A and B are shown apart, each in its own frame.
Chain A
Amino acid sequence: MSSYLGGRLVYALFVLWGSLTIVFVAVRIVPGDPAQMMIGASGTQQDVEALRHRLGLDRPLGAQYARYLAGAVRLDFGQSLRLEEPAVQAVGERLPATALLSGSAMVLAVAAGLPLGIAAAIRLRSAVDYLVSVASLLGQSVPNFWLGIMFILVFARWLRWLPSAGIGGVQHLVLPALTLALLLIGVLTRLVRSGLLEVAGEDYVRSAYAKGLTRRAVIARHAIPNVLIPVVTVVGLQLGNLLAGAVIVETVFAWPGAGRLLVDAIGNRDYPVVQVAVLCITAGFILINLLVDVSYAYLDPRIRYR
């Protein structure tokens, strides 16, 4: 296992370096200049040039890149152009909020998707099944900004059950997490349902029933474990969608997370913040997918890593 992990680590470093480089070039190719954005429409051309020089933006691209990499290995990712603090601090202050939101959404998705998928598979072609199928399709197709605003109107404005925006206690987490989770719930429900139906025809399921196990025991001990591998894979892959959705949900619900910061930073051409935020997202992705791959060994005893 340790040599497997070692290999994955090397691969991870390579991916991180690649993402860093691609983003570095991409933000600088796109039209729009951070110095201009900072000075706004009221400054003179000299002011803009002076600021570009101060920020080191007038150096050749290669020199800027080399300087950036040299800093990166020391974990110094530069100063945010707009926020007047280190880019790492700007992102780091907001990452916990995004992690809380995305994590809660993922937990919610699994907690809802599994039982709903099972219920639909058990009561095949019944009212429950059709209801769950329609609901999961809606969950996947409804745009999350619309859903978020609808939730605010219904649960905050009309029913007054929950707060409308911001971060605070658990009650502030409910609506944003639910909005974010809905797409994943839809995906998971359908996945679990079709997975169970596929597994239902297998020999070992028939043998399990023949042994005299109740349906609950068959599902819990034989069917679900075999469905878990694709489920876990999809959950890991959906992390990207979750983070993309988090940007919108964070804006709608005034959640002070890194997603909002990233979008604002792109609009403002705040290069250091964009680079750090993307690096964090890449690292998160790599970590989650590593956990997913490692979990296979636990979910399926036949899989062994060397």
Chain B
Amino acid sequence: MAGDTLAGGRPTFGRRRFLGNAALAAGGALLTTAGRPVRAAYAAAAAPAGELRVSLPARIVGLDPMGTQAAEESVRVVSAHVFDTLVVHDPRTRGYRPALAVKWETPDPATWVFTLRPGVRFHDGGTLTARDVKASLERMVAQKGPFAPLWAAIGSVDAPADATVRIKTKTPVGTMLANLSLLSILPAASMNNPGFFNRPVGSGPFRIMSYRPDSELVLDANPSYWGPAPGVKTLRFRDIPEIAARVTALITGEIDLTYGLPPDQLATLRGNKDLHLQTTPSYRYYFIWMNIKRSPFTDKRVRQAMIYALDTRTMLTTLLKGIARPMTAPIPSTVFGYAPQRPYAYDPAKAKQLLAAAGHPGGLDTSMIWNPGSGPQDQEIAQALLSYWNAVGVRVKDAQAERAQWLDRLLKLDWDLDLQTNIVITGDADFVLRRLYTTQANRMGYSNPTVDRVLELAAESVDQNKRKVYYGQVCEILWDDAVGVYPFELLETYASRRTVRGFVPTPTFPTFMSVTVGR
């Protein structure tokens, strides 16, 4: 505009341009206030408000609920908020609640028919139908991630109607609901688009707003969610791996909630009046396997001696105060299929007796592999174990290794003793017992045809009461055969600021749908 330039030839911000810009700004402001979703559209009770900032103990490695990292807890936590599943695991009843599926039936043991909830929309507006369920299940199997083996017995998936899913299996699958609780439903139309998992779309209570890898994932409440609206408008997952920094962030109020803290940090937080600690049993436990294919652990008496030599009660009160409790079966007491067994006493004299009877009166030399960082207080536990065993004449070499090397030796059965933690992800005994303790699994050399048969019966029975009985039998056999040492099941403590209300910890991973953040 010629009138805007000065004599020097440089254009200036003339009056005309200024007025023009101002008009645009005013018009823009009017448009946005008109276009913003009106709050009154929500149910009269509590619209999502406020922001919850959570720091998970491990970072979010990706946003694909079916990829190779699908078993990572951080991925499962995020998936639970962004995607829906057909059923949701309820740790209190050890059963399953309807979610996307409102009812289901088994016309015959190898066929499951699910009726879907109507009116469910994905975050991008598309309607969720049986076709999406079919496509999601097929992708889960095709991706060959850690949960794909759960679907080994699947025959076919059909979508005979928009709201009906029929799953046929080759043999009956008793864990169908457990497996489905891990299957996130993705939109068939877009899930195979390149880059879909950079900002995936689901039907869950939250949608992904932004993701900066290794830094922060921001979710916001889904205004058209089929279920109860979440308590907060914004859910931020901030990645703070270093414990001191994470605890500091909680104390200063930079984050609102975290967990996975070692006992000494918990003690610091207990006295803080701005913070609230909640402890819950979990699906996680410590165990020590003995390589049953290798001498001397081929002999059951030696294995039993290893258990009698340990004073787990003292270890609990001195090393694991507040973060673990005694374990009374090969699986934690929180898991479906648990049956309590008679605990082994702390009896070093009996241990020495058993060793002598097995032909080792002078003790024996062996080694233990483990991966530092795999569980709370693992260094301390390993040292304690070694010294208890030493006291009965079993001299154990500490063969700790970084994860890749530990895993390599573990899977090749190139070890004598193995100390590690494990999580029963589905809360169902099948997840651990059938995958690890059958002859075919061959994870620690244990082979018992009775156990194999019972576990197969349990997996193929759709009668949950029968299954419970079967798993009880297996628990007893494994316990009596001293297949491993099961010293502790772990507790998890969640630390949150007092402004956080409505958070209910459960044995499984945490969810924040009903959490609100007050003043």
Contacts and interface: CB of A to CB of B under 8 A. Distances in A.
Interface of A: 30-33, 36-45, 47-48, 50-51, 54, 81-85, 90, 93-94, 149, 152-153, 156-157, 160, 163-167, 251-254, 256-257, 260-261, 267-269
A149 B244 contact: yes
B449 to A, nearest CB: 19
A41 B404 CA distance: 11
B405 A32 contact: yes
B407 A93 contact: no
6 contacts: A36-B408, A40-B146, A41-B422, A84-B197, A156-B249, A165-B254
Given A82-B69, A84-B197, A157-B251, A254 B239 contact: yes
A298 B292 CA distance: 72
A32 B197 CA distance: 28
B240 A165 contact: yes
Nearest to A253: B245
A257 B214 CA distance: 8
Contacts of A253: 242, 245
B364 to A, nearest CB: 27
Given A40-B146, A42-B435, A47-B149, A157 B248 contact: yes
B420 interface: yes
Contacts, number: 134
B144 A164 contact: no
Q: Is the interface of B mostly helix, strand, loop or mixed?
A: mixed
Interface in B411-445: 411, 420, 422, 435-436, 441
Contact of B214 (A85, A156, A261, A267): A261
B62 A149 contact: no
A32 B424 CA distance: 25
A265 to B, nearest CB: 11
B447 to A, nearest CB: 16
A163 B62 contact: no
A84 B402 contact: no
Nearest to A175: B245
Given A32-B402, A256-B214, 15 more contacts: A30-B404, A31-B404, A31-B408, A37-B407, A38-B69, A82-B61, A83-B61, A83-B213, A84-B69, A84-B197, A156-B252, A163-B252, A164-B254, A165-B238, A165-B249
Given A36-B407, A37-B407, A152-B248, A43 B146 contact: yes
B466 interface: no
A31 B408 CA distance: 8
A166 B69 CA distance: 24
Contacts of B404: 30-33, 36-37, 267-269
Contact of B67 (A44, A84, A254): A84
